[in-house]
Amino acid sequence: MNQTTPHSSFKKNLWTYAYNISKIICIWILLQTLVFKFWLMPDALAESQEIFRKVSSFLFATDGYEMQLRIWSWILELIVSVLLMFKRTTFLWAIWVCGLMAWAIWLHTTVLGYDQLFGMAVAVFLCGLYIVWYEIKEYKKQSE
């Protein structure tokens, strides 16, 4: 007979709350950076263009791909943030979040330097890792 104690129920709810909060943090930060990349104020747009110009120069030895890099990162982050909302696709897109943010962290450590965007990338990466861990844990529990 499997009885749950109040302590185990609280612990399960705590993990679930942390999982949901991690998803909200990921989605919120990813959507927030989309605004930064294209719409906000002209000075923020200029800063975003300068960031992607540096990345383009680093990756392709020319800054001619700034707009394409900005558009593709915008598209990928939008897709990931939207599909992360659905329970059925969470695991796959949490892995994508980790990959995108690992890429962003690498670019910040090699080219861009440590700033607020670096901190946001680290936060999203850690939340993505937690989401992946939680999904694996739940899958193992269901298959038992």
Q: Are 26 and 131 in contact (CB under 8 A)?
A: yes
Residue 60: pLDDT above 90?
A: no
Closest CA to 39 of 69, 74, 68, 79: 74
- Domains of the chain, by residue range, sit at 9-38+78-143
Distances (CA, A) of 130 to 1, 22, 28: 31, 7, 16
Residue 59: pLDDT above 50?
A: yes
Statement: the pTM of the whole predicted model exceeds 0.85? no
Residue 76: pLDDT above 80?
A: yes
- pLDDT tens-digit profile of 109-126? 998 888 888 999 999 999
